[in-house]
A and B are shown apart, each in its own frame.
Chain A
Amino acid sequence: MSDFIIETSRLTKKFGSRKVVDHVDLKVKKGEIYGFLGPNGAGKTTTIRMLLGLARPTKGSIQIFGKDIRKEKLAILKKVGSLVEYPSYYGHLSAYENLEAVRILLDVPKSRIDEVLSIVRLTNDAKRPVKGFSLGMKQRLGIATALLGNPELLILDEPTNGLDPSGIIEIRELIKSMPKEHGITIVVSSHLLSEIDQMATQVGIISKGRMIFQDSISTLRAQSTSKIKLTVNDVESAWKTLLTHGYTTDLSQNNLFIENGSDEKVAEIVKSLVQNDYSIYRVEEERKSLEEIFLELTGKEGGL
């Protein structure tokens, strides 16, 4: 058995002839918070649906807890809690009754309802019909439902969607506390890198159905190579002059950029500009933000 909690192999889903998920090898280790990142329509929800056995893969395999989902779906689902897209609930029932309807199916003790209600801080609203809940409360009820069966793996699809900043922080803190306090492994999807950045330990980036990056968040950060920005008078002629001296720079937004330049190379370029009588106003280092890396990575696949 491998040490992965989730391991997919060439997971593919087609709708008609369109590949919405294309040869995805998702790998999630125990105790991680795995951030599943991708722009709208990238295939996150579709992948998650397949992980939960809600949709059948067109091709490829899924192993969760080392078990094949096709053969041992119920044994796997017993240890998985999930929240897919917007929360599901029965509006005419109270929060307590909603949880009771699920609890009976999971066959866990009644006391578990009060426990999860207090984890998501809904104890005081437990007796009200859920249709009167705010979106944030419904989302929290969804998380409570996901936690009901003491899952070892929690799969949350955009759990902070539609929440206000304080709601987002609250859910984020909740998610971050889970692996520490309960040893739960978490997969959380989002289309916002900043979201994932603040809670995930591992990141998988999906774009147009393809996994284009999968590693630790620190590896992703290391990709944020810097470039040197030069602000000079008469950029165009400066760019040409540098070219005739054998230095390639990028000209954009009235600035010259040196990509991956070593210290010596930067010094040579500056020297060459000075010798050719250009006025250098600024020499700055620009680091790419994670957001830019994300856009660049997903952009390579054809833009958002």
Chain B
Amino acid sequence: MMRVMASEFIKIRRKMILFLVFLGPIGVIGLEAVNFGIRYDWLTGVYKDDLWRGLIGEVAMLSIPTILIGLTILTSMIANIEHQTNAWKQLLALPISKTKVFTGKFLLSVLLLFLSCLLLASGTVLLGLLLKFGTNIPFLYLFKMCFFPCLASLPFIAVQTWLAITIKNQAIPLTLGIIGAIVSMYSMNFPDWVPLKWPLLLNDWDKPIYSVLAGLVTGILLYFMSLIDFNRRDVK
């Protein structure tokens, strides 16, 4: 599996993929910088009890649609490396199981998304310091708010990976993913069982971890289902 990942990392060289991984968090932090820059007095008024929590909350809100759109583009670009010149037939005629190939693509998306989340967390700290919110940073809360939406999005990573790999025409997974991201922005009043709501970390129990757990379990389940389907299919 290490070899599969090493090969995947060679293949994303000189692609826009890594640029995208940086663009997402930089965009979010940039927008929040503008947000706090313009409405500094008002926002510091609203969040006067805990400035850091206020900032982190704002960042997390904006990061959710960014994560969903980002993962859609990411999974599509990763699959497209093979689609572009029909490299699937070469890749899958190598002595590597289809399971490893699929898992490699899935894992690459997850890793890159985590990297984005890490950058987001660092960016948030940087912004908070620049805004002179002090050094009493609630790190646990910060990491929760940066990584939980990502973890709760695991079902989408699985589904988008599967769509992007099985459908050659990338317009389809891209469209579906972006529709999903938009719908999820308006999903706070959806019932709790709707997966699109999970990245928002909202539920009747007010426990974000429940959304994360639901996402993880469903995500792993969907990963296995996609994997079975991928193994069954003839290579194009």
In whole angstroms, what is the CA distance A77 to B95 when docked?
5
In whole angstroms, what is the CA distance A293 to B234 when docked?
35
* B169 part of interface (Cβ distance < 8 Å): no
CB pair B235–A54 under 8 Å, yes or no, is yes
User: In the complex, which of the residues B15, B84, B90, B97 has the most CB atoms of chain A within 10 Å of its own CB atom?
Assistant: B90
CB pair A93–B10 under 8 Å, yes or no, is yes
CB pair A89–B85 under 8 Å, yes or no, is yes
CB pair B93–A90 under 8 Å, yes or no, is no
CB pair B97–A74 under 8 Å, yes or no, is yes
* B92 part of interface (Cβ distance < 8 Å): yes
Q: Are A92 and B93 also in contact (CB < 8 A) when A54-B235, A104-B7 are?
A: no
Q: Are A88 and B15 also in contact (CB < 8 A) when A52-B93, A55-B235, A74-B95 are?
A: no
From B10, B13, B92, A54 is in contact (CB under 8 Å) with B92
Give the interface size class of chain A: 20 to 34
B96 CB contacts on chain A under 8 angstroms: 74, 105
Closest Cβ of chain B to A133, distance in Å, is 11
B11 CB contacts on chain A under 8 angstroms: 90, 93, 101
CB pair A105–B3 under 8 Å, yes or no, is yes
CB pair A92–B14 under 8 Å, yes or no, is yes
* A120 part of interface (Cβ distance < 8 Å): no
Within 8 A of B (CB), among A141-189: 142, 145, 149
CB pair A88–B13 under 8 Å, yes or no, is no
CB pair B13–A97 under 8 Å, yes or no, is yes
Q: Are A55 and B234 also in contact (CB < 8 A) when A102-B7, A104-B6 are?
A: yes
CB pair B90–A88 under 8 Å, yes or no, is yes
In whole angstroms, what is the CA distance A85 to B6 when docked?
27
In whole angstroms, what is the CA distance A89 to B86 when docked?
8
Show 18 residue pairs from A and B whose CB-CB distance is below 8 angstroms, ordered by the A residue. A49-B234, A53-B92, A54-B92, A54-B235, A56-B234, A77-B94, A77-B95, A84-B89, A84-B90, A84-B93, A87-B85, A88-B89, A90-B11, A90-B81, A90-B84, A90-B85, A105-B96, A142-B90
Listed in ascending order, the chain A residues whose CB lies under 8 Å from chain B are: 49, 52-56, 74-75, 77-78, 80, 82, 84-93, 97, 100-102, 104-107, 142, 145, 149
Listed in ascending order, the chain B residues whose CB lies under 8 Å from chain A are: 3-4, 6-7, 10-11, 13-15, 81, 84-97, 234-235
